[in-house]
Amino acid sequence: MNGHRFACCMIRTLGTAAATTASIHAHAAEQGALDALSLYALQPAYAWQPAGAPLTVPPSTSDDPLIAPAASDASKPAVLPTQAPLESTTQATQVTPATPATPATAAAPTVTAVTTPRFGAKDSWRLNFEGEWMGDFQDANELQGRIGAAWFFVDNAELALYGTGGYVSQPGQDAGMYGIDLEARWHFLARETWSLFGSIGCGVMGSTASVPSDGSEFNFTPSIGAGATIEVAENTRLYMSARWYHISNAQTYADNPGRDNLGIWVGLSFGM
C-alpha cells in the first residue's frame, strides 16, 4: 500500500516536471532571451514546485546578460550582450619605402693643372736659339748661330751655356769657327710680358784658319752687352741684344793681334 502510494507520488512529480518544462519553453519563446543552456539551468527552480501550484518565475537578480529579465521587468528592454571591440595590441607598422642605394660613383680622376712658371722664376729653365752678326767696321765680318740652355739660378738672373758655330769673312783666308760660350744675364727690369737685361760672358773659339788672319786658330771670346725680351707667345720670348765681342788668344801665342767686334743678335727662348 505504501509502495503504491510512493509510485503514484513519483508519477505525479514527473508529470509536473514535464509540464513545467513545457511552460518554461513557452515563456522563453515570448521573451526571446533564454538559450537552451539557461533553460535547463532554471529547470530545478520549477521542477519541485507542489502540484497544482501556480507557475512563478523568480525575479532576475543576476547581472548576467544571458538571463532574461523577470516578468516584472518585462517593460524594460532586454539587455543583450555586447562585446567591446578588441584593441589590437599590435600597432600598425608604417612601412617606409627603403631608399634605393645610391650606386657608388667612381672617383673622378684628379687632374693636376700644369702651371707654367713665370718668366725669370727661380729654378726655371729655357731653351734658346740665337743668330748673330758681328763686324769690326773694317773688313771682317762673322756670322754665327748659338743653341743653348738657360737656368735661372735666382729670380730674374740666368746662366746660359751655348754651343756655337759660324763663318768668318776676313782679309787673307776666311775660316769656319766653332766654340762654347758661357753667358750670364740679369733682367734688371722684369715685367709680365717684357724685360731689359745686361749680360756678361766668355767663351772659347776654334777655327779652321787663324782669326784674325795674322793671329791664331784658338781664341778667347769675352763679351759685354745689353738687350730686351718680349713675349711673343705663351712661354716664348724674343731676345734682342747688342754686345761688345772680343777675339784674342790672351798671349798664348807669340802674336796676339786681337779683334773687337760689335755683335747684334736675336733669338727665341722657350720655357721648359
Read off the pTM. Answer: 0.59
Span 181-239, pLDDT tens digits? 999 999 999 999 999 999 999 999 999 999 999 999 999 999 999 999 999 999 999 99
Provide the pLDDT for residue 185.
99
pLDDT value at 112 more than 60: yes
Phi/psi of residue 220, nearest 5 degrees: -100, 150
CB 246 within 8 A of CB 222: yes
Query: In the structure grid, which three cell numbers stand for residue 184, read together?
Result: 750670364
Span 119-157, pLDDT tens digits? 999 999 999 999 999 999 999 999 999 999 999 999 999
Enumerate residues 6+ apart whose C-beta is below 8 A from 144: 131, 132, 134, 164, 165, 166, 167, 177
Provide the pLDDT for residue 100.
63
The CA-based angle 241-250-141, given to 5 degrees, is 45
Domain with CATH 2.40.160.20 in the chain: 125-271
The DSSP bridge partners found for residue 148 are 128, 162
Enumerate residues 6+ apart whose C-beta is below 8 A from 122: 152, 153, 154, 155
Span 45-94, pLDDT tens digits? 444 555 555 555 555 554 544 444 444 454 555 555 555 554 444 454 55
The DSSP bridge partners found for residue 77 are none
Query: In the structure grid, which three cell numbers stand for residue 46, read together?
Result: 520549477
CB 269 within 8 A of CB 239: yes
Going through 102-193 in order, the beta strands assigned E by DSSP cover: 125-135, 141-154, 157-169, 175-190
What does the alpha-carbon distance between residue 110 and residue 256 come to, in Å, rounded to a whole number? 64
What does the alpha-carbon distance between residue 43 and residue 58 come to, in Å, rounded to a whole number? 12
User: How would DSSP label each residue in 31-95?
Assistant: H----HHHHHHHHHHHHTSPTTPPP--PPP----TTSPPPGGGTTSPP-----PPPPPSSPPPP-
Fold of 125-271: Porin (2.40.160)
CB 258 within 8 A of CB 247: yes
Report the 10 Å Cβ neighbour count for 84.
5
Indicate the Cα dihedral angle 240, 241, 247, 252, nearest 10°. Answer: -100
Residue 120 identity? G
252: left (phi over 0), alpha (psi -120 to 50) or beta: alpha
Query: In the structure grid, which three cell numbers stand for residue 217, read together?
Result: 786658330
What does the alpha-carbon distance between residue 130 and residue 139 come to, in Å, rounded to a whole number? 24
